[in-house]
A and B are shown apart, each in its own frame.
Chain A
């Protein structure tokens, strides 16, 4: 077997990082809200983890270590942009509380992600496209509504209902132990 070069991530590291993506995204978003800063924190976290891959002991739990790095990066984003607080969804006091709250559910995110995938399979193509336009492609409510010939209010209600249904589906599957 070929050993990775020094400072190059091992296969175990890449696998662990891959499996932690949803949890890390969830952590950054839960800490900073819907914002460019959450994306930036996730980017920073991924880069730091990659650069510090040699510090991780495969015998230890990856996600705990990764969340510690993510917390530092979330707070770093806040610190670096302190002068431009208006851009944040959450103010710095709230972020300070949310980082700890978010770390408590990080462990369960992978199971939620798996459950959600099954729930997404139950959606109609139309509903899935609507969610994708909004969540993946960053289209605004106005843009999605215009594209589908819907009123903005009606689309908001539809998106919220879809979210709730998916949330209930996820909780139901987790309760039944279905997705794990």
Chain B
């Protein structure tokens, strides 16, 4: 075999290996040395890489044509076969059309974008970040990159991913993502399971749960399970995946063989935990209940702040469901607190319990009035102020495991004030504490899971 032939085979081998994660520093140095030393080697490499690019384009074109054909088949039962040249043009045209979207959104990956694929989710919240806005849809292959702020995505599967910047992650499917940097809370409500998040160090599969993931710059990953359990199924666990349960946390280095147990700490994840529930902002004497508190509102005591307990999500309210209020305005006198309003139309809601429960901790020196402002990423459609309404809606809207036993004086009384602003998303709560537990229930319109739904709020 001639030197040139040998060199070509080796360059081919190295170029092929360079597309894989296992490409080592030594191989990289060898490849660079070969290319620096020979113009023939460079010419060969250019042809090799160019063929790879053309091959990618050609395969994308085939998939795009198939996609269109399938769509057409569904619509008209007529299978459309595209002429060969048209396939390439079709895919390239799709890529070019998407460039326009890229220019506007500054988030893109032409390789994956070139295949015209339906959206698999959308941005539910975009907080203090200019790169995205609520209602933006995303498709498999899209990269989501931002330097600061928080973004919450809802997948078609129902899974929610709230991420804090700086972050880089890629949408893989309607139930999975790859994350290379950032801190996130993932919640998979209801019966959905199997949401998978890949990081450079680990693969985490949801088993019906909520959990936090933090990926460092070097790919190292920490995972904390808030509720339920997850399966770690990265390559070092094969053939038996490792299971982690609520209250457990691990740290996985990029090239390590096993995750190390670390102390369970949720503080860093609380901002994304809050965002994952669609709570955009909380101000004043108010906070969102932590994961371990969420399921037991009656038992959580905090004499300094009002607590927001996210309850059930995507609950279809029965026709004729009665609440205390639906319209913007200030509700404070006994009469307004006792009124009944029937919801005008069937609606799907996420429920939140707002509570002040000082337990035995309130002293005569303690402040008597606690106020807070709460802003949701969707409109409030109903408020429940009265104890009877709360009792009657517990089964439908409270978490199955929530225990309201021992909670007395639920609801609110004269002296308490609740205001819903004109934007229908901002709620001001001011409780004048006497004794017992003050509670109200807030019903916020659920977002659909279908990213193509016209009912997704696209508020700028």
Contacts and interface: CB of A to CB of B under 8 A. Distances in A.
A134 to B, nearest CB: 8
Interface in B24-74: 25, 28, 31-32, 35-36, 39, 42-43, 45-47, 49-63
Interface residues of A, number: 59
B246 to A, nearest CB: 30
B93 A160 contact: no
Interface in A56-102: 86, 89-91, 93-94, 97-98, 101-102
Given A25-B56, A112-B51, A117 B109 contact: no
Contact of A30 (B12, B21, B46, B89): B46
A29 B88 contact: no
A13 to B, nearest CB: 9
Contacts of B103: 47, 50-51
Contacts of B13: 160
A93 B103 CA distance: 31
B49 A34 contact: yes
B95 interface: yes
B12 A114 contact: no
B45 A98 contact: yes
Main secondary structure of the interface of A (DSSP, over half): helix
A97 B61 CA distance: 31
Interface string A31-53: 00111000100110011001100
B32 A91 contact: yes
Given A132-B59, A166-B51, A47 B99 contact: yes
A35 B28 CA distance: 12
Main secondary structure of the interface of B (DSSP, over half): helix
A22 B85 CA distance: 13
B5 interface: no
B18 A34 contact: yes
B120 interface: no
B364 interface: no
B87 A17 contact: no
Given A34-B19, A113-B88, A117-B85, A21 B96 contact: yes
A144 to B, nearest CB: 11
B32 A101 contact: no
Interface stretch (B110-118, B307-315, B421-429, B436-444): B110-118
B108 interface: yes
Nearest to B111: A39
A119 B206 CA distance: 41
Interface residues of B, number: 57
B351 to A, nearest CB: 39
Interface string A155-171: 01001100100110010
B100 interface: yes
A116 B62 contact: no
A121 B65 CA distance: 13
Nearest to A160: B16
A58 B300 CA distance: 70
A117 B53 contact: no
Interface in A2-35: 14, 17-19, 21-22, 25-30, 33-35
Given A105-B47, A112-B51, A167-B51, A94 B35 contact: yes
Contact of B42 (A22, A47, A97): A97
Contact of B110 (A27, A43, A50): A43
Nearest to A100: B42
A29 B15 CA distance: 11
Contacts of B35: 90, 94, 97-98
Interface of B: 12-13, 15-16, 18-21, 23, 25, 28, 31-32, 35-36, 39, 42-43, 45-47, 49-63, 84-85, 87-89, 92-93, 95-96, 99-100, 102-103, 108-112, 114-115, 235
Which 7 A-B residue pairings sit nearest by Cβ, starting from the closest? A34-B19, A26-B50, A26-B53, A21-B92, A25-B53, A30-B49, A30-B46
19 contacts: A17-B99, A18-B92, A21-B57, A46-B110, A89-B18, A91-B32, A93-B36, A97-B35, A101-B39, A101-B45, A109-B50, A113-B57, A113-B88, A117-B84, A120-B59, A135-B52, A136-B60, A140-B21, A141-B20
Interface of A: 14, 17-19, 21-22, 25-30, 33-35, 39, 42-43, 46-47, 50-51, 86, 89-91, 93-94, 97-98, 101-102, 104-105, 109, 112-114, 116-118, 120-121, 128, 131-132, 135-136, 138, 140-142, 156, 159-160, 163, 166-167, 170
